[in-house]
Structure formats: C-alpha cells, structure tokens
C-alpha cells in the first residue's frame, strides 16, 4: 500500500481504536427548540441547560503507530479531552452546538512559497471538527473491524469552512469488497479494508490554485473559493468562533434534505454517530468519541 493511500485511510478514520469500548452508545438528547439559534458561533441563544459532556481520546496511541505502519511522530495535540455539546430541532432543522479547548486559532491554509527558482507548496494544518452518522450497513466504531457500512460525514475546517459558511458534506464507504480508487488498508485478522470518500452532489467551491511559473509574490494562497456551494454538498451550514482558548461551532441541517446522498435524521427515533477533533493536524492525528446515540424521541414527526 502506498504512503498516500495509507494517509488517506487514516484521514478517513473517525474511530477510536485507542479507547475502551462502551457497552452502549452515550445518549445525546436532541431537544425541541423554541426558536432557531442564530448561526454565528456565539452561544448566547442556546441557554445554560441541556449541555452534555463528551469524552474524546486519541484515535491512535503512540505505541500503536509502528504496527499500523505510521511514522514515529505523534502529532495529536488534542489528547484526552472533553467536548461540550447541545443538540436541538426547530421547524424541521437540526442544530448542533459544540465547544472544545484549543490553545490557538489555526485557520490558515496552504500557500505557495517562492524559493528563488519556483513556487513550492507549504502545508499548514488547520483546526477541524467532524461528525459522522450511520447511513447503511453494519455500523461499527472502527473502520478497520472488517464490517462494511456507509456513513454521512460532515467535515468543518477552520480555514475552508469558515470562508464558505458550510461544513463539507460527504458519503464515506467502508468495505472489505474491492472498491476502485479507494484507499486500501491491510489489517491483521481482517484482510484488506477499502475506504473511499464521495463528495455529495452539488458544487464544491474549494479549488486548488495553481502557482504561476514566474515570481508574482513571495507567497500565494494555495486554495480559493470558486463560486458558492450548492446542492447536497451545501446542506450543512456552519459558523465557528475561536475565543479565549476555545472553539465554539454551530452546525445546522434539515432533518430530511430530500437528497439521496444524505441520511434522514429521524424525528421520533434515534441515530448513531461519532465526533472528532483535530488541533492543527490531519489524518490519524485527532481525538474521537465513542459512539453516540442522537435521541430524537422528543421531536414530533
């Protein structure tokens, strides 16, 4: 397996292989909201009650890196931590507010730097938050268990999402059956696991900027927005704000978007998912929750 494919597989891994298994998913009560919170990264309209604390821990322990074929450097800056979360619904729209500690606002993306002869790309890892929700198949807390399933993935980044006002919306496929152009991951006792991320239908506005061949400036941003996101890709509206050592993030999406590539959030029912936090990092360098059961039983159908 190539290093790129391995990195892609780890990037997709919203799982908690380093955490003890809970007997049952932690219940997340989804409340009926009297009004819709303003999507601005401020929590003044969320109230003081109903917040829940979610433990997260590194998806990969330092002593596991070698057997997973990873480098020696452990770049997880989150470690074991707690996320504060509150969820609710108003007039058919699901609202999620999350708050977590982060020592600095890392919200700048890659750039091209002139080295005297040409431009070279300099990586800058920003802060990120992700939610995944069961969509089909035999959902598991791990992508490497050998179980085949799909999830709906919402991925917010402090750089790109802040500029676009959305969390990128994807469909993740995890399977032991051959999947073309997927990341491949070989697991002892399981075999080969194929992982592939599909962007939802619609316009993805995030575009890589190709650098000029001649010097124009010392630094040029490597990504830009190409128009406005639309369609299913733009379903998850988002706004974040970093202040006093914490990120505050709000996400909003219709319970039923009407799009075939989105999971329906079941009023009167429940759905299992997980969350993940990245601190100026990517790939496996994140901390994740155990499975969570979002309980919509208080929401009228």
pTM above 0.75, yes or no: yes
Q: Report pLDDT digits (tens) over 55-67.
A: 998 776 666 655 5
Q: Are 99 and 108 in contact (CB under 8 A)?
A: no
The confidence score (pLDDT) of residue 106 equals 82
The tens digit of pLDDT for each residue in 186-202 reads: 777 888 889 999 999 99
d(CA 31, CA 52): 12
Nearest in space to 24 (alpha carbons), one of 298, 291, 296: 291
**Domains, the chain, ordered by start:** 3-295 (2.60.40.1190)
CA angle 67, 69, 144 (to 5 degrees): 70
List of the chain residues with pLDDT < 50: 1-21
């Amino acid at each position: 397996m190539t290093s790129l494919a391995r990195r892609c597989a780890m990037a997709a891994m919203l799982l908690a292989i380093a955490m003890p298994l809970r007997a049952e998913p932690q219940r997340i009560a989804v409340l009926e909201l009297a009004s819709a919170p303003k999507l601005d990264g401020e929590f003044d309209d969320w109230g003081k009650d109903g917040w829940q604390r979610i433990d997260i821990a590194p998806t990969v322990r330092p002593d596991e890196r070698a057997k997973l074929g990873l480098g020696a450097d452990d770049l997880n800056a989150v470690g074991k931590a707690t996320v504060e979360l509150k969820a609710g619904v108003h007039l058919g729209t699901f609202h999620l507010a999350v708050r977590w500690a982060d020592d600095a606002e890392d919200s700048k993306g890659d750039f091209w730097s002139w080295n005297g002869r040409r431009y070279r790309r300099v990586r800058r890892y920003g802060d990120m938050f992700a939610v995944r929700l069961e969509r089909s198949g035999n959902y598991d807390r791990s992508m490497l268990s050998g179980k085949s399933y799909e999830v709906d993935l919402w991925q917010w980044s402090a750089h790109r999402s802040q500029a676009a006002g959305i969390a990128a919306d994807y469909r993740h496929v995890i399977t032991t059956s051959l999947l073309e152009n997927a990341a491949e991951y070989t697991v002892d006792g399981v075999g080969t696991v194929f992982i592939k991320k599909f962007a939802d239908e619609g316009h993805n506005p995030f575009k890589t900027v190709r650098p000029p061949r001649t010097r124009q400036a010392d630094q040029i941003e490597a990504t830009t927005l190409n128009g406005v996101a639309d369609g299913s890709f733009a379903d998850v509206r988002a706004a974040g704000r970093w202040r006093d050592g914490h990120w505050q993030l709000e996400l909003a999406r219709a319970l039923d978007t009407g799009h075939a590539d989105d999971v329906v959030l079941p009023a009167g029912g429940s759905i299992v998912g997980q969350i993940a936090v990245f601190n100026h990092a990517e790939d496996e360098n994140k901390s994740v929750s155990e499975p969570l059961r979002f309980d919509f039983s208080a929401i009228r159908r």
